[in-house]
């Protein structure tokens, strides 16, 4: 993190202390993810809690609110506005994908193509097609039994998609790309026009 000061450390979301050398105020840090839009950061000095920072990202992903609680002091609230460009998916999602036939039983031979649209969104080509951004807003579908899709980027490896028909949610997908970027898992739950509930998991390999 760089600004008026520079902080340099590496930590994961395990909730365990990680070393943060070279910082005057603290030398240990603990990270915990609360949900997909909130995280808690505990700053410690030689094991003693110095401050707790609650980070919250707005629904559109363009504003970050940091609330810092320090023992004996009033909470400090700082609001940050994204200025480094639009929130975009990791390049791991871009490419051409085909079903891993050794691990998938349903919808054999399905092929997908995902590419950036140059404006912070993606173009999706498969059984149906669309162009959308990761802003939670509805975008029209083509060649689909559903009318619209909304996308949310959970993290660099995970995307949630929600589909609507006649203004009712009919299907929810979660796309997860493996750490090496070579495999993608699609978990789907939905309701057909007949009212039948459908749940399936498809696995894809990058070509």
> Regarding predicted confidence, which is higher, 201 or 108?
201
- pLDDT at position 105: 56
13 domain-assigned: no
pLDDT, tens digit (0-9, with 9 covering 90-100), for 51-97: 999 999 887 777 889 999 998 889 999 988 876 554 455 467 888 88
Q: Which two tokens stand for residue 38?
A: 């909130």
Percent of the chain topping pLDDT 90: 29
How far apart are alpha carbons 29 and 170 in whole angstroms? 42
Strand order from edge to edge, sheet including 158-165:
129-133, 121-125, 111-116, 95-99, 197-206, 183-191, 168-177, 158-165, 148-155, 139-140
Give yes or no: residues 96 and 67 share one domain. Answer: no
CATH number of the domain enclosing 108: 2.40.128.20
How many domains does one find in the chain?
A: 2
> Regarding predicted confidence, which is higher, 39 or 22?
39
Residue 98 pLDDT > 60: yes
Scanning the structure block, which residue is given the tokens 């919250």? 56
Residue 104 pLDDT > 80: no
4 domain-assigned: no
10 domain-assigned: no
Task: Print the domain residue range for 103.
Answer: 91-206
23 domain-assigned: yes
8 domain-assigned: no
Using pLDDT thresholds of 50, 70 and 90, give the confidence band for residue 2.
low
Give yes or no: residues 95 and 58 share one domain. Answer: no
Give yes or no: residues 143 and 168 share one domain. Answer: yes
Give yes or no: residues 39 and 116 share one domain. Answer: no
Give yes or no: residues 124 and 48 share one domain. Answer: no
Give yes or no: residues 61 and 120 share one domain. Answer: no
């Amino acid at each position: 993190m760089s600004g008026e000061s520079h902080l340099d450390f590496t930590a994961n979301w395990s909730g365990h202390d990680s070393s943060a050398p070279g910082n005057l105020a603290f030398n240990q840090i603990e990270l915990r993810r609360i949900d997909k839009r909130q995280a808690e950061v505990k700053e410690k000095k030689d094991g003693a809690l110095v401050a707790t920072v609650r980070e919250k990202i707005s629904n559109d992903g363009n504003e970050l609110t940091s609330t810092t609680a320090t023992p004996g002091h009033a909470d400090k609230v700082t609001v940050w506005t994204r200025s480094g460009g639009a929130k975009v998916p990791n390049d791991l999602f871009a490419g051409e994908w085909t079903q891993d036939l050794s691990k998938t039983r349903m919808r054999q031979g399905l092929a997908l193509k995902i590419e950036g649209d140059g404006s912070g969104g993606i173009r999706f080509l498969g059984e149906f097609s669309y162009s959308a951004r990761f802003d939670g807003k509805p975008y029209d579908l083509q060649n689909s039994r559903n009318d619209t899709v909304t996308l949310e980027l959970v993290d660099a490896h995970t995307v949630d998609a929600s589909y609507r028909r006649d203004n009712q949610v009919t299907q929810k997908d979660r796309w997860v790309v493996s750490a090496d970027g070579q495999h993608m898992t699609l978990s789907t739950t939905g309701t057909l026009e007949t009212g039948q509930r459908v749940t399936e998991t498809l696995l894809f390999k990058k070509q």
